[in-house]
Amino acid sequence: MAMSRAPHWEHAVVTGGSGFVGSHLCAALLADGTEVTCVDDFSTGRRANLTALLGRPGFRLLEADVRVPFTVDRPPDLVLHFASPASPADYLRLPVHTLETGSLGTRNALALAHAHGARFVLASTSEVYGDPEEHPQNERYWGHVNPVGPRSVYDEAKRFGEALTSAAARARGTDTLIVRLFNTYGPRMRGYDGRAVPTFIRQALAGEPLTVTGDGLQTRSLCYVDDTVRGVLAAAAHGMPGPVNIGNPTEITMLDLARWIVELTGSRSDVRFVERPIDDPAVRCPDITLARDKLQWQPRVQAEEGLRRTIDWFRSQEAA
């Protein structure tokens, strides 16, 4: 059984640290007194996400492509591999880049961790479950993924990353963890990234119709970014190998989400149904028994509060 670790890290490397989740992770680590090196090529991340961190003591930015071997100027004791196009708009635009980040990028981040005896955390995804035939999804489920469909560039990149991470642990003794993140949302998402929450908020604030795919009855389980980051760091500190689901087990249909966002924004927008993407999962809901039992973790931020915070952030960006 994995033993719990001290919750403090001296130096963490966060690949993809200028992205949505990565930037929140950098901020949380820095607030805890951990020195942070953010590694990013800005292919999908944004420098604006790091504005509050640049220039702060203990924070370094290394502009580099993780698909190429890289080094940092101080040995890390924690490497968090969060680099990857994660939204449909990005991974469909950058299919080969996405697959290479999940393969070559994971290899290079693992090599960095192994060289320094650091704990390695792979940010995987609920997408490894594909369009699931088991519901809710627990970590023992192997998934139902179309390996040649358009979404496979992201799904299979993460599945390969998990396989490579597991192999490094078995063959080389690298200290590894796999976390599977479910539908994280919150401030710093991009309005045009193709994910439901930022798309609906952007459309509602602009008074545009909210574009719901298919009949809107497909479900997702929304986890506010602060809860996601807290879960990732709890799993890293525990020492467990994973995989472990980090998500909110409360489902909502996309049609209900769209109507709720219209209400919360005070918008007069209506809903417009559009074609549903190929291989779009019908259901998505994590079984978080493992995280609850081993980490004493579960989401704290209720969906309405999280959506209000996210809407307020989008409004602040309009006013800036």
Concerning whether 129 is annotated as a catalytic residue, the answer is no
Q: Alpha-carbon torsion 251, 256, 259, 263, what sign? A: negative
- Contact present, 176 and 168 (Cβ < 8 Å): yes
Q: CA–CA separation, 232 vs 238, rounded Å?
A: 10
Burial class (CB in 10 A: 0-12, 13-18, 19+), 98: buried
Residues 6+ positions from 14 with CB-CB distance below 8 Å: 22, 25, 26, 29, 36, 37, 38, 39, 80, 82
| Annotated catalytic residue, options 91, 129, 154, 185 | 154
Cα–Cα distance measured from residue 317 to residue 313, given in angstroms and rounded to the nearest whole number: 6
165: Cβ contacts below 8 Å, ≥ 6 apart: 106, 110, 120, 122, 176, 178
Determine the length of the chain: 320
- Whether the CB-CB separation of 94 and 44 falls below 8 Å is answered with yes
Return the number of other C-beta atoms located less than 10 Å from residue 83's C-beta.
30
What is the per-residue DSSP string for 41-78? Answer: --SS--GGGGTTTTTSTTEEEEE--TTS----SS--SE
DSSP state of 79: E
Task: List the catalytic residues.
Answer: 154
